Structure 1
Amino acid sequence: MPEGDSLVRLADRLRPVLEGRDLVRTDFRVPQLATLDLSGRTVRAVRPRAKYLLMELCGTEGPGGTGAGTDAGGLTVLSHLKMEGRWEAYPLVDAAGQRLRPRWRHPAWQARCVLDTHRHQVVGFQLGLLEVLPTSEAARRLHYLGPDLLDPVWVDPDRAPVLRDEAVRRLQSEPARPLGVALLDQRLVSGIGNIYRCEVLLLAGLDPHRPVSSVPDLPGLIVLARDLMAVNTVAAEPGLPAPRRTTGVTRDPEAPYGVRVLSSVPPARRGAGRSREPRHWVYGRRREGCLRCGGPVTVEDLGEAGGSDRILYWCRHCQH
């Protein structure tokens, strides 16, 4: 499953080529939407919501539109990447104004949605979920989600405590649940994936098996997770995607769990050693060991049965 910061970065990449643009051709390659034509509509907004991407459209239906396109308030193209999905944009016009034939980086059979504007083609490959619904119903469709840790509201000092307290309330509603399982439940708090689950628990020194009710500072844990994710939504260098790194922290006794997340992700060092530079504390470090103490990293399944985020990395020495 993607992490919430992946969706923020994705929306940031697609927004310049879609927002305010008219769709001149659409091609939905899933059975339930195969006859739907949204050409003639304008993309009003591209925004993430937890692990979903929403493309909000306004305007009238294009020719051949059916069923889902009757809401006068607009439509929303809703997608979820799941494990393999991706959205990519390809130019249709070069600098001289000449038409280009886009060369997809993935096989055509993987395409689930093709959206053409006058200047770009945006393609969704192997999307785990793809729906088109009236925008007025989008909020109801996603009502089950807990507070989104990357909701823009978090930058508002008056409104952020409301989201934090709601996340805490939802987590506390299942006091006996293992903390490492609860953090992945998007109904309780949304946006956290397996990487951040492992990393924030290491930084907080919390055993993922301990019940939610035993966490000494649940509001602080939410803030730490939010800060760790938010810093990874910003590109370290102009024009480059943000490298996901969770090691940009410093000790601060006044911060939750004594850890303060640095305000920006330092760019990785260039050169031959770049690939060896640590990016995580425990996640994926089965062979290297815990970056904090150097001890062995335990790897086990911890999650809902049948879930894709069950593989947990944690340090028995650092986490209690």
Structure 2
Amino acid sequence: MEFLRPASWPEALALKAEHPAAAPIAGGTDLMVELNFDRRRPPVLLDLGRITELTEWSETDGAVWLGAAVPYQRIITELGERLPGLAMASRTVGSPQIRNRGTVGGNLGSASPAGDAHPPLLAADAVVEVASVRGARTIPITEFFLGVKRSALAPDELIRAVRLPVAGGPQQFSKVGTRNAMVIAVCSFALSLHPARGTVGTGIGSAAPTPRRAPAAEELLAGELSWESPQPLPESLLIRFGELVAAAAAPIDDVRGSAAYRRHALAVLARRTLAWTWQDYRSGRWSRCA
């Protein structure tokens, strides 16, 4: 196995073009597990650790540009108020050691249906910025995942950053697992309220071949929520929202849980997160993670 360590972004793109089968590595929290268990044996490893721009973030015009190699721990400590949903999800990733190494870019690169970062990115309408020697392009998060561990990345492309708006309303993330962290989710759910445009965003994880949204559930709330004079939500609305979220999933039976359990759990998570975010909106108190 060949090991390449570019010193700049242009050099990394050139090496990726020369070696399309090269596996990028930054934190290595997913890839090293696959290597250690001999589940994957790429011919080339492309170490992105020396490219400092990938470890930076910035805010412009109400949106955060998040470098692909910014670790979860920094999202928690530096972006908890700007991106509360993503910060909540970051808190549930692995152990402190994993959170200090693991990155959203790596989570996207592996494209696992169970990736903890994926539901809040979907709920927030994130955009993935990718590049190759042919140029740069952006991929809406809803178009990024193509199948189990398959993404819209071309063989010669690398993930440079994720762009997502600063939270304009309350956000939540919840997952079901044997523990709160250090566990692959049985299922997970994220919810973002967007009061300025009168909409909500959803994200479902570990309950379909790809992370996905629940469009029918989003449409239900867009027509039912009273943004100008928020009132307590009727139980019937919470229940119907949970049903539509569960219906949007396509779970399977596996060692972590049955399809029926995943649907039930998603309905519960959806009801709870909606109740929490709406109460935060009504009270003027948004959930903070830092």
User: TM over 0.5, yes or no?
Assistant: no
- Normalising by structure 2, we get a TM-score of 0.29
Q: Report 1 or 2 for greater relative contact order, CA contacts < 8 Å, sequence distance ≥ 6.
A: 2
